[in-house]
Amino acid sequence: MISHALVKSAVAALLATAVASPVLAQEGNAEAGKGKITLCLACHGEDGNASLLPNVPKLGGQGENYLLKQMRNIKDGTRAVPLMTGMLNNLNDQDMADVAAWFASQSAPLGAVEPEKRALGEVLFRAGNAEIGVAACSACHAVNGKGLDSAGYPALSGQDPSYTELQLKAFRTGERNNDAAEVMRDITARLNDAEIAALASYVFGIR
């Protein structure tokens, strides 16, 4: 059995990583970004929240640093997103920073947790599970699910459960591997499908 002390140590390590992480974003201009989102509109909508497909995330209110990192990773191939293949090729770093600033300036979406998944999801998010060595998700993503953008940790609140579940499973299999220090891959490797589904539903409704 893994001790509470070990889990606390893991949380401390995660927070230390957050504090040590460099600021990723150059300064973006939201108004300039509004004029550069033409290619984004069909899937994300003007405010970033018009996701119509389970593998298309909502972007409104997401952290600017996080958004810029993802665009950089998608453009350079570090993160494989088939739907976005080639779509960022004509954007330079300032363009992407502006687009990130625009979506970050929009209102975050709101959701609601499925009642039958609340208990398990809340425990994992707020306290983790010492027995399997999983630290609380809130350590990096904040108790309200709004993330820690200075460290590039994304907001989870209001994100479609189907998308969150897909991403957690992608981290678990290693299909997605652009997480700093393999933190997400290590955590998701310890979670089963029911736990992932509960977390995805819980963070959808957290405020």
pLDDT at 3 over 50: no
pLDDT of 20 above 70: no
Pair 99, 114 in one domain: no
User: At a CB cut-off of 8 Å and minimum separation 6, what does 12 contact?
Assistant: none
Model confidence band, residue 24 (pLDDT cutoffs 50, 70, 90): low
Of the listed ranges 20-24, 61-65, 167-171, the one predicted with least confidence: 20-24
Q: Within this chain, do residues 85 and 184 fall inside the same structural domain, yes or no?
A: no
CA dihedral 202, 82, 64, 100 (to 10 degrees): -130
Q: Are 50 and 131 part of one and the same domain? A: no
Instruction: Count the domains in the chain.
Output: 2
For the cut 90, the answer to whether the pLDDT of residue 159 exceeds it is yes
The Cα-based distances of 122 to 61, 116, 190 in angstroms read 22, 11, 17
Check pLDDT > 50 for residue 6. no
Query: Which of 104, 125, 152 is at the close of a domain?
Result: 104
pTM of the model: 0.89
| 199 and 119 in a common domain | yes
Rounded to the nearest integer, the mean pLDDT of the chain is: 90
**CA separation for the pair 203, 112 (Å, rounded):** 9
Res. 25 pLDDT band, cuts 50 70 90: low
- Tens digit of each residue's pLDDT (9 = 90 or more) over 172-192: 999 999 999 999 999 999 999
Q: Is there a single domain that holds both residue 47 and residue 127? A: no
Structural domain ending residue among the three candidates 39, 72, 104: 104
Q: CATH number of the domain at 15, please.
A: 1.10.760.10
Q: Which of 52-66, 91-105, 149-163 bottoms out in mean pLDDT, i.e. has the lowest?
A: 52-66
Whether residues 77 and 135 fall in one domain: no
Same domain for 17 and 42: no
pLDDT over threshold 70, residue 73: yes
Domain ranges, residue 193: 4-22+110-205
Phi, psi of 169 (to 5 degrees): -70, -35
Task: pLDDT band for 51, please (50, 70, 90 cuts).
Answer: confident
Distance CA 3, CA 199 (A): 22
Picking from 104, 122, 144, the residue at the C-terminal end of a domain is 104
Q: How many CB atoms lie within 10 A of CB 46?
A: 14
Per-residue confidence at 41, pLDDT binned at 50, 70, 90? very high
Alpha-carbon distance values, 83 to 63, 64, 103, 175 (Å) = 21, 21, 19, 15
Coil vs helix vs strand at 129: strand
Considering the domain architecture, whether residues 90 and 134 belong to the same structural domain is answered as no
**Are residues 190 and 94 part of one domain?**
no
Judgement on whether residues 138 and 114 belong to the same structural domain of the protein: yes
Q: Are residues 174 and 91 in the same domain?
A: no
